[in-house]
Chain A
């Protein structure tokens, strides 16, 4: 039996995106291995989440107990350890998230089971389970196999695949918690929400960064509108944060933040060495600057030598056209 046990991740009463993303991987693997997917929910009071999960055509098992009201890696490890013994799933899968990395390695060591961390793909080919991992900042994809074992552990990178649409009705079943005695050595203290409106630009996929070329604060709406259109976050050079156009925690550079978006749009930024050092992790760089000698062009994949106030409206226009 090649069953896949998928541990759903949730926070503050809502399922995390990674849970749905794993639905793009788990059913195919289970099918190829001749088994089925069981989605496991651990927590307290999760009827809505269980229903939502079951809409993916999977069997949802719920461990509903007040002791799991808040995430605790040790408790999760104990539950999963017992379930591995009991259910002997072929694959135990969860997200490569702050939660997943907190217990999966420990679980692998405890159970002496092979773990592939941060996989972007998983498939069962010719009787072998193979995971795909990215190396060298995504320049190389490595296909890795597991050491033969009864259960394979894998964590899936967030945002690696697109979540599918709900497929078919599944089932929901409450099961008993194998976790009997509460632990006291690690306790939940407080949940601290990040400040409202606080964007962590180090995690942004698309960034528009403005520099001195913005000239004045009243030009910001133009940039914000474009950002909205392409789902980008807005950051700035030191000059832009000094001028107060951009909050200080969104400064890119050696004395600010180091960013690694898939797309970096540098607008009116000359590209001082200290700024460029903060954005060298960007996959694709588009630079707009009036000065053809601006050093930013040395690191840009696409260079537009023109006034940003001419280029941005043109981009907006094109964007509208594309969106129909």
Chain B
């Protein structure tokens, strides 16, 4: 009883130490389909017990990478190691990883309990133990009452739970999930996200989760690996990738962001100053190729005032073009004097007098709330 609660944090602690002996290490993974490179040199360490999300638009290579982890697709180049052992050529049935497929891939000719019992039966577990484990697992995903039903009699959310139960019942070290929530409606999806998180916490299993939904990735993950065009764009905690995107793709893929092209960058006392449409803008210093760059600022980090705020480092004059009421937040579209559109996201009720279309305002933000991104990419 006493170590039940510490199981999850142990897993995370082990995850922290993964630098020394990576649990799973992908090195230089490539996958070619004829002339196209679905994956182009992916190197990524996965820590034991973490919830890692592979995020990217469709065709970015995230699912291909998951399939290579599972062993269903073989890499054209590169290697895969588990605790130092080369498993690049190990067939899927010998990897002992659980997998939840898009569309669930349940066995339609079996009952719910037979579906969940399948991996145990394959492992030669005797009937009594099997039954206990299956029923514990079904109870955990809230399907104890549906054990004898056929899978076709269940709703989408219930089928999803069967798929999860079946993938976790044999206590795999790794659970691979390929867009498991994409078929569910919004409410159910949010509920399942919470369940996934708690299942992951309790089961001490490494989750590798594929999605194209950035909000889902931010909610669920310990770390997010962002894919685009077969390349790994950035890996980091949700906060890292959202607050400190390394390039334009990551910045624009996660949430919304305003990009101001700036030129003539100069570094000075830990900050960099550049010119945007004749106005000097300041951001934290960053190693960049000389020349032009983008200054990026999230809509929620902008402030709106009637007059230029006293002492503001970054301030631009703009006019409100459109204000959309969204309950808790108000979304504004503004234009700078020279016509560059700017998105702004304010808490509802703040500065209500200013957010009428046509009104001239000042936009300002702290230098620490913005960052510089390289021009290309």
Does A associate with B in a complex? no
- B interface residue numbers (CB < 8 A to A): none
- A interface residue numbers (CB < 8 A to B): none
